[in-house]
Amino acid sequence: MLARDIMTTPVTAVRPGAPIKEAAAVLAARGFTALPVVDADNRLVGIVTEADLVRDRLPRDPRARCHPGDAVATAATTTVGEVMTTPVTAMGAGTDVAVLAKALLAAGHRSMPIAEGSRLVGIVTRRDIVRVIAPGRPLDRPGRPAPPGGLRRRPPLASRRARRRGAPHRPVRR
């Protein structure tokens, strides 16, 4: 199975000049953990994660009784370009999902942008990979939803033998 079989497309992405609050709103509203950052030509230039947005952005609450260490200074950044992770690691649409999964786990990332050259074409998350191995999903038809009611069952052995002998097919009642 290849990345193109399970990747999400079109990709929700942000520009480097977008306000941090806008990126945070997209992440919160859509339940994403990261957003690719693209330039005007849809070239991948970085990725902004929840951690990038949260890092050094929350001041300590003066009402808290315990303040281990010194006071934390809050960042004065306002755009995605100032906090995004760059350079970003991406893989091609023809990458084997097993290789992609290993790379995600080794790097501790939750998502991997999929690019053709430097142009963003999709994104694969750990959740996309989990969906592939989830029960009730036909693994021989990647990227397609399971049929209504789950996987089709084979008829009982007696019914299959009767059909081979030329007997008319009768539905089996369960």
Query: What pLDDT score does 5 carry?
Result: 94
- What confidence tens digit (pLDDT) does each residue in 39-64 have? 999 999 999 999 998 886 666 666 76
Domain segments of the chain: what residues?
A: 3-59+75-146
Each residue's pLDDT tens digit, 84-112? 999 999 999 999 999 999 999 999 999 99
Paired tokens of 156: 């009982």
pLDDT of 133 reads: 87
130 pLDDT above the threshold of 90: yes
| CATH tag for 3-59+75-146 (out of 1.20.1250.20, 3.10.580.10, 3.40.50.720, 3.40.50.620) | 3.10.580.10
The residue ranking higher by pLDDT, 25 or 153, is: 25
Per-residue CA distances from 94 to 6, 41, 97, 107 (Å): 11, 22, 9, 20
Give the DSSP H or E segment for 114.
strand 111-116
Contact 85, 35 (CB under 8 A): no
- Neighbouring C-beta atoms of residue 83, cutoff 10 Å: 22
Confidence check: pLDDT of 149 > 60: no
What pLDDT, on a 0 to 100 scale, did the predictor assign at position 19? 94
Non-local CB neighbours of 107 within 8 Å, separated by 6+ positions: 89
For 97-101, which contacts have Cβ atoms below 8 Å and span 24 or more sequence positions? 97/1, 97/2, 97/3, 97/5, 97/6, 97/124, 97/129, 97/132, 100/3, 100/124, 100/129, 101/126, 101/129
Q: Which residue has the higher pLDDT, 151 or 5?
A: 5
Average the pLDDT over each of 77-81, 88-92, 107-111, 117-121 and give the range with the smallest value.
77-81
